[in-house]
Structure 1
Amino acid sequence: MSRKNVIADRSTLGHKMGYALRNPGKIPGYLKRAGRDRWLRLRYPDHVSYYRAVMKHDTANSPEAAVGSATHDRWLALGKMQFDYLVSHGLQPGDRMLDIGCGNLRAGWWFIDYLDTGNYYGIDISPDILVAAQETLARQRLQAKLPHLTPVRDLTFTFLPDAHFRVVHAHSVFSHSPLHVIDECLAHVGRILTADGWFDFTFDRTEGKEHHVLREDFYYRTETLIAVAEKHGLKARFMDDWEKQPHGQSKIRVTHEEARGVDGVRR
């Protein structure tokens, strides 16, 4: 397993002081985020409501920055990177795909353009970012592909049919989720996956103490997330080839337990 994307404990005082000394210009921004965090945690004690409020605020400033892209060029590059990776692993135009945390369609518009009409389903907890997604859809002239863009309150997928999706995808979702939200997703995703389907998710990886910074960024050990998947009867494996991508997160692929040979390529 590559150590490329392993992240140190960013919650420690030593790390914070060292980072501040190296990046003094970022101190005001961090203090502003910390103040917002305290206020929103008092107002929204459950995490989904809390992070929905974070996204509302960030989307109002910049939808592309709200999904983690500092520039438009970076927004385009990160979306294309996700698209190229899944296509290289066997995503076909005829597949139905669920994009969890689809945001403003940074990757979604590439998938919508590629997949057959109606085969893309994007969900997000933030209605505000889904409005931005509609704007992306119109800007890319992809209305005729009839994608499904749906706001959700949780990750139980109760409105979706059994064994419907060959590919489920969650990029930079679990990196902003406490463990009980991840557990909820993994408890229900198997129901909507086809027998040969797979679920790819990225996460911020640490090999030390698991921790979070404010309530926005969460860092997990690989074995913790694999154990959660296995608890729900799923098979999970670390995707070493993803570590070659120009992105700081790591990736795990989940499949049905009985589909041990599935690696995203049609047999």
Structure 2
Amino acid sequence: MKRSRSSLVHQVGYAVKNPDKIAPHLRRLARDTWFRLRTRDHIAYYRAVMKSDTARDPEGAVGSHTHKRWLALGRMQFDYLVGHGLKPECRMLEIGCGNLRAGRLFIDYLHSGNYYGIDISPDILMAAQDTIVRHGLRDKLPHLTPVRDLRFAFLPDEHFDVVHAHSVFSHSPLHVIEECFAHVGRIMKPGAWFDFTFDRTEGKEHHVLREDFYYRTETLVALAGTHGLRATFMEDWERGPHKQSKIRITRIS
């Protein structure tokens, strides 16, 4: 995508073509303005967004407007990672695990105790607990932990074979992504990999209401390199039925 969704021209054009979405956009704008005035940083702001969204619908809060779509997006993530090297014996960290849209499948597939899910939203993690009960996954002993940042300070060195973040960096300003890059290498085993999705633009990088962020591939690849990480754009993911792009990170040394 080359055009900026934050530009006035795009917004006016979109409104003309989709008049039914004007009122919801104005409600979202008012809510986001209120949250920004009451929170100190982006993490606190987005935690408030998730609290609001989860109260209405946990599946909608993670970007799935129907249960069918929730199931399909979880399956898509699971199938891709299994097809690209995830094994039952792997230890996996899912950043922004939400209400376990894909996590329920990872938990069932991995050996007991090998799934770790973190999220900045305590509310969505409560919904994740409901998912564990609903799908009979208690005996798999998943770890679910609320976090205030992406420094992973409580996690041990070289512990994970796979790190995964779906639709997390699409909601993150660049300094949050850099914080993750600065610390994720420490918790990755030699030979481990970290897959993340992002909203890609080929034009000017921008955000919409500080909820949706669009980045150039080369920006994220270069940023990873400054922290001793090698970033590879996953071309085969691009052909799938989704709107985001994917990069795989490995440790250079």
| Whole-angstrom CA distance in 1 between matches of 2:167 and 2:210 | 14
Name the counterpart of 1:265.
none
1:173 aligns with 2:173: no
| Whole-angstrom CA distance in 1 between matches of 2:85 and 2:117 | 20
| Whole-angstrom CA distance in 2 between matches of 1:27 and 1:66 | 20
- If asked which structure has higher relative contact order (CA below 8 Å, sep 6+), I would say 1
Instruction: Give the total of aligned pairs.
Output: 253
Aligned mate of 1:21, from 5, 16, 26: 16
1:90 aligns with 2:85: yes
- Per-residue displacement from partner, 1:55-76 (whole Å, max 9, x unpaired)? 0000000000000001000000
Unaligned runs of 5+ in 2: none
TM-score (norm 1): 0.94
Counterpart of 1:202 in 2: which secondary structure? Answer: strand
Name the counterpart of 1:214.
209
Aligned amino acid, residue 73 of structure 1: K
Name the counterpart of 1:8.
3
1:118 aligns with 2:127: no
Name the counterpart of 2:252.
257
Unaligned runs of 5+ in 1: 1-5, 259-267
Q: CA deviation at 1:7?
A: 5.8
Aligned mate of 1:202, from 197, 200, 218: 197
* 1:94-243 superposed matches below 5 A: 94-243=89-238
- Per-residue displacement from partner, 1:34-53 (whole Å, max 9, x unpaired)? 00111111111300000000
Name the counterpart of 1:3.
none
* 1:74-85 superposed matches below 5 A: 74-85=69-80
TM-score (norm 2): 0.99
RMSD over equivalenced CA pairs, Å: 0.7
| Whole-angstrom CA distance in 2 between matches of 1:152 and 1:8 | 34
Name the counterpart of 1:73.
68
The structure 1 segments of at least 4 consecutive aligned residues displaced by more than 6 Å after TM superposition are none
Name the counterpart of 2:29.
34
Distance 1:96 1:242, change over 3 A: same
| Fraction of identical pairs, as percent | 72
Aligned amino acid, residue 236 of structure 2: D
Aligned amino acid, residue 210 of structure 1: E
